[in-house]
Every structure is written in C-alpha cells, then in structure tokens.
Amino acid sequence: MMDADVVVIGAGLSGCLVAVFLARQGRQVVILEGREDPRSTHRLGLLGRSINLALSTRALTALHAAELDQKVRQMAVPMYARCVHLPSGEIQVQPYGRPDQCLWSVSRHALNALLLHAAEGEPGVELRFRSKVDHVELERGEAFLESGECIRSRLMVGADGIWSRVRAAISRHGRLDFHQRYIDAAYKELRIPRSAEGSGSGFRLSHPECLHIWPRHRFMLIALPNLDGSFSCTLFMDLLGPWPSFEAVQSEADVLRLFHENFPDVLERMPELLTDWAINPTTNLLTVKCRPYHYHDRAVLVGDAAHALGEQWRGRKNRVSSSRELTVKYGQFPFTGKESMPVSKTAESLRS
C-alpha cells in the first residue's frame, strides 16, 4: 500500500513549488524535510542572513502559474538597473531593458516561507519537518527516514539539494553522467543597515532600486535592496591564495584594509562589518550537472539536485522555473493511480 502518489524530498524553493503544482493536479503529496520548520520563531535567529534572489520573468512566470507572483511582488523590491561602482569612483547605471522591465530582489527565506505556506494550504499535501531521509530504494518507491520509518510512493521527487540522496540512488541503479566542480571563489554575506548614513559620494542611496555591483577583477561585492531600506550584500572572492582572498584575510585589520582599498565608498555605510564578517560563514561555491534527471518512471530530480550553479542567484531562478516546467508537462498525462508515470519523457523534455 502506498502512502502517497508522490514523495517530495526537500522543502526548499523547488520542492514546495513542485508539491503545489502536483497537488493541484489531484496528486497526494508528502514533503519530507530534514530541518525544523524555518518559519518557527525559535529558528529565526539561527537562519543567518541570506543572499537575496534576483527574480526574472522566467521565475515570475512559474510563480504566476501557482498564483503566487503578486504576493512575491508585494515582498520584493524592483531593480530596474545595475549600478556599477568602478574603482575610479565613477558610477554607471545600466538599465536592464525598457523602463518597465526589472528584476525583483527578494529574501530567500521570505520566499521559502511563502512557498511553504502555499504547499501547506493545499488539501493534498502533507508537510513533514524533522524527517531526514537516510536512503531511498527506487525500484520499490521507498524512502527510509533516519528514524527507521519507511514512506512509499509511486514517484519520488529529489528536491534535496547539491548532496541529493535521490541522485545518489539513481547513480547506483543505472547510467548517470555526473559532474561536480568547486569554483575558485567563495562568498560571505554582509549587510548595509537602513540606519547607516554616510557622507561619501560613492554609494548613493538615491539609487535604491538597483542591483549594486563593485567589480574588482577576480572578486566583487554586490548589494541587493530590501523593503526596509537595508541592502543584503555578498562578497565573492577567491577562497585560497594570495591577497586578496578569504584565506589571506586573517584579522579585523585585514578586513578593514580590504574594504578601504577596494570599497571605500561603502565601508562607512557598514557599521556592522566586523561583526558580520566574524559571525557569517565563508561558503563554498560549486557547480553540479547530471544527466539524465530521472530514473525510469520512478524518480526525478529538480533544482540543485539536478543542476546547481555557482552563480547563486541564477541557480535559484532555475530551481523555480524548472519546477513549473516539470509539473506542467507532467500534468499533460492522465494518471489514475495505477499506471506508471511518464517521468522519463517529461524530464528529458526539459533539456531542450
């Protein structure tokens, strides 16, 4: 006896959106998530700060199909141009397109919370936290939790990220081309608070609806606006090697030197820089590619489990859009609960 039509492993962006679409097609869906509920109050202080997402039309098209795009716009800031801060101090504002065209800056945590609420609100979805999957048996459609419980389904959706257990199971059962590569750069999350006031002429808050970029050869700083007037910043820089690299920055004096030499216009607007640097981790960036995205009609991969990109914001846009494309194509096929699902045709069509 099956516990669900579909088991989705992972309650991130792609997993939640897949569950919403499948539930609206009449499927019974169980989402298994190893973490605690990230929306819970006691978790908020443990989340850290997140790289904002820059959502394009492609991502918004997927969210529109789930009737969530207007809610996302209400909690996002439009970015009509990139604001490039050159080493000379010159600022170049480069529009993304027509005056009405933009990207949307949104908190990843806020978007994930919205998608969790949407999935939870679907009658056919059961959302289970603290349900970490230990391993899966694809032929039998079984997901075994670390607690020993077994969840059975006709289809397994691996939305479980870069270190996907579903992808690992697929690789054991058949031919799977897989490539993983760490890129030289890593990143650290920083912040420009709303209350920061600087006297310099470089970083002007008169450009709040821009994606700010400080390109510096092999490294760069970016800043994306938030609704409260603050900016979520990310420093991308070589992890190892000579100055400048994360390895070479060994002290608070080194942090201040790095910003004074390369980002003097923003330094005065980051009063919490040293605290943020000490608290927020330095995180690796890697690229993951695999083919095929599925195992017969028993399992399919979405999001980072299938294609993780080192460019974080681009990768997350692909997570959202691929979830919609998979389920829209998948929904074109009838399903009575008895026949196997046409996952192979659906997943391979996403490559075109």
Whether residue 313 is predicted with pLDDT greater than 90 in this model: the reply is: no
Instruction: Report residue 326's pLDDT band, with 50, 70 and 90 as the boundaries.
Output: low
Whether residue 345 is predicted with pLDDT greater than 90 in this model: the reply is: no
CA 327/CA 220 separation, integer angstroms:
37
- Cα–Cα distance list, 23 to 119, 207, 327 (Å): 8, 42, 10
Give the pLDDT of residue 45. 44
Whether residue 203 is predicted with pLDDT greater than 60 in this model: the reply is: no
What lies within 8 Å, CB to CB, of 5 at 6+ separation is 22, 27, 28, 29, 153, 154, 155, 335, 337
The pLDDT tens digits of the residues spanning 205-214 come to 567 789 999 9
Whether residue 276 is predicted with pLDDT greater than 60 in this model: the reply is: yes
Which amino acid would we find at residue 30?
V
- Domain ranges in the chain are 4-41+48-78+104-180+288-305, 182-279
Give the pLDDT of residue 246. 98
User: Of the ranges 77-81, 294-298, 319-323, 336-340, which one carries the lowest mean pLDDT score?
Assistant: 336-340
Average pLDDT, the chain: 85
Kindly report the CATH number that applies to the domain delimited by 4-41+48-78+104-180+288-305: 3.50.50.60
The pLDDT tens digits of the residues spanning 118-165 come to 999 999 999 999 999 999 999 999 999 999 999 999 999 999 999 999
Which amino acid would we find at residue 90?
E
Which amino acid would we find at residue 265?
D
Give the pLDDT of residue 308. 86
Express as a percent the part of the chain with pLDDT over 70: 81
The pLDDT tens digits of the residues spanning 220-253 come to 999 999 998 889 999 999 999 999 999 999 999 9
CA 213/CA 24 separation, integer angstroms:
40
What is the side-by-side order of every strand in the sheet holding 231-238? Answer: 91-95, 81-85, 210-216, 219-225, 231-238, 177-192, 282-291, 307-308
The pLDDT tens digits of the residues spanning 32-87 come to 999 999 988 544 444 444 678 999 998 999 999 999 999 999 999 999 999 999 99
Give the pLDDT of residue 332. 45
Whether residue 339 is predicted with pLDDT greater than 50 in this model: the reply is: no
Give the pLDDT of residue 2. 73
User: Of the ranges 7-16, 44-53, 194-203, 303-312, which one carries the lowest mean pLDDT score?
Assistant: 194-203
CA 292, 295, 300, 303 torsion: positive or negative?
negative
Which amino acid would we find at residue 221?
L
